[in-house]
Structure 1
């Protein structure tokens, strides 16, 4: 099997950052997110790139009234109350900003494009490693996400854990609900799953540096190893950091870091998995799309020279299933 280039995007709107950023502080990213999504889809079409859009279940609804009718019966009881999207629903005053909380229109746009998969990012942006939550509340939350997608005729095959808080004890729940794969973390110690209190400034600094300098290796993966157990781990290779004016002089290093790993995957018939959040692109849409286009143009070169293929996570899981059975 040739090397594989895959992309996953954590589609969250404000739900994904509401416990860490004020609405006013992040409004520039949110207001540009829909433009960024359309631009990404156009680039994916132009380069034949397949991607998985791991979507929070809340986004499937038109408004807060409709969402309230579909809340699960068991809710997480986080020790840090501000982590709960369910409490946020009751505590905020709902105005005319539904476009920052709900996106059935964007989900329909994404699924209409070739090669684009709607995956899940749980129902409520559920944190699997935070104190107070349980496997029972996780099951109820994920079941609600699967049902929200099913109501729109969308099967759920792929999951991305919010904040990359993968909990090995919860993988059996994915199997129960028919989810065949998830995005695991890179193998370096500073990428291991952590709850928010464990996310030290030192860990964040190492991850930032790793975007420009090779600290953790290429993070490409042997497909046969990914096929060893269900649900299949389709691990991350690199977070695509958004444009930063202060770090823009280093963008050549950032691009080179990604290209070297992509080339390693193409030559070695391995997997390279790039990911980010659409709202990361919202504040500097043109600069971020221009950088993404350079990556996709390089994928074109690797496709022509080495036969590298673009697959979404669900398509990879299907291929891994054939290897697993064999």
Structure 2
């Protein structure tokens, strides 16, 4: 089996950062996000990239009035109430900023592009490791996400846990709802799933350093390893950080780090999983798309020389299902 190049994007608009970023300090990213989505899709089509867009359930609605009609009956009771998107719905003064919160237009655009899968990022940007929430409220939230996608003809096969808070105790809910796979975390200790309190400055610093210097290895995975148990864990290999003008002299190191891991996957018949958020590209769309183009050109070379294949998460899950012995 040839090596596999997997891409997933967490599509969440402002819901994904609203507890930590204001419109004022993150507005450029949000305003540029739809341009980034169009540019990413153009590159994917040009290079034959199949990707999973893990899409927040809230984004399927056209406005807040429509969303209010389909809220789940059981809501998370986070100890830190600022984390709750449901509380935000009630407290916010809703104006003319729906483009920051809803995106049925972007979902339609993604579906028109060959090889793209719309997965789920839960309904509300649900945090599975935060104090106060329960498996019952997670089940209600995820069921709502599956149902809203089903309502427009989209089956839900793949899940990305918000903030990468994969909770092993909750995986049975994925099985209950017919979700075949999820994006797990890299194996090094500083990538393990954590709640907000566990995101120490040291952990953040190690992850940043690992972007440029190999601290954690290539983070590529054998398909046999991924096929061991359902739902299938298709782990992350590398977060594609946005271009940073302050760290511009290190950009060649960042690119080299990604290319080396991709080469390892291609030559050793393993899986490499790249991920990011479209809003990461929004403040500097051109530079970020140029960087992504270099990665995809490298994929072209690996495909031609070693037969590497591009598969979205749902397609990887179908492959793993054929390999699974249980």
TM-score w.r.t. structure 2 length? 1.00
Give the whole-Å Cα distance in 2 for the aligned partners of 1:3 and 1:186. 18
The 8 Å contact of residues 212 and 253 in structure 2, kept in 1 or not, is answered as yes
Q: Distance in 2 between the 1:225 and 1:10 partners?
A: 24
> Where does residue 314 of structure 1 map in the other structure?
314
Q: Within 1, Cα distance between the matches of 2:325 and 2:218?
A: 28
CA distance in 1 between partners of 2:225 and 2:256 (Å): 27
Query: What displacement does 1:36 show?
Result: 0.2
1:91 corresponds in structure 2 to: 91
1:24 Cα shift? 1.2
Q: Which 5+ residue runs of structure 2 have no aligned equivalent?
A: none
Task: State the partner residue of 1:18.
Answer: 18
Distance 1:325 1:220 in 2: 22
Partner in structure 2 of residue 27 of structure 1: 27
In the alignment, which residue of structure 1 is the partner of 2:215?
215
Distance (Å, rounded) in 1 between the aligned partners of 2:255 and 2:23? 31
For residue 212 of structure 2, give the secondary structure of its aligned residue in structure 1.
Answer: coil
* Secondary structure of residue in 2 paired with 1:217: coil
After TM superposition, give the deviation of residue 177 of structure 1 in Å: 0.1
CA distance in 2, matches of 1:299, 1:203: 30
Deviations 1:281-310 (A, max 9, x none): 000000000000000000000000000000
- Count matched residues: 326
Partner SS state of residue 52, structure 1: strand
Structure 2 distance, partners of 1:247, 1:145, is 38
SS at structure 1 position matched to 2:319: helix
Q: Give the drift of 1:325.
A: 4.6
Q: Residue 198 of structure 1 corresponds to which residue in structure 2? A: 198
| Equivalent position SS for 1:321 | helix
**Which residue pairs with 1:117 in the alignment?**
117
2:280 match: 280
Q: Structure 2 CA distance, aligned partners of 1:166 and 1:178?
A: 17
Tell me the equivalent position of 2:107: 107
Give, in angstroms, the shift of residue 23 of structure 1: 1.4
- Specify the alignment match of 2:48 in structure 1: 48
Alignment partners' CA distance in 1, 2:225 and 2:198: 29
CA deviation string 1:253-273 (max 9, x = no partner): 000000000000000000000
Match of 1:170 in 2: 170
Is 1:138 aligned to residue 129 of structure 2? no
Structure 1: distance between partners of 2:306 and 2:160: 29
Between the aligned partners of 2:10 and 2:20, the Cα distance in structure 1 is 16
SS of residue paired to 2:272: strand
Look up the SS of the partner of 1:30 in the other structure: helix
Tell me what 1:156 maps to.
Answer: 156
Whole-Å separation in 2 of the counterparts to 1:288 and 1:249: 15
Cα shift at 1:97: 0.3
State the superposition RMSD in angstroms: 0.6
In the TM superposition, what whole-angstrom CA distance separates every residue of 1:149-178 from its partner, at most 9, and x where no partner exists? 000100000000000000000000000000
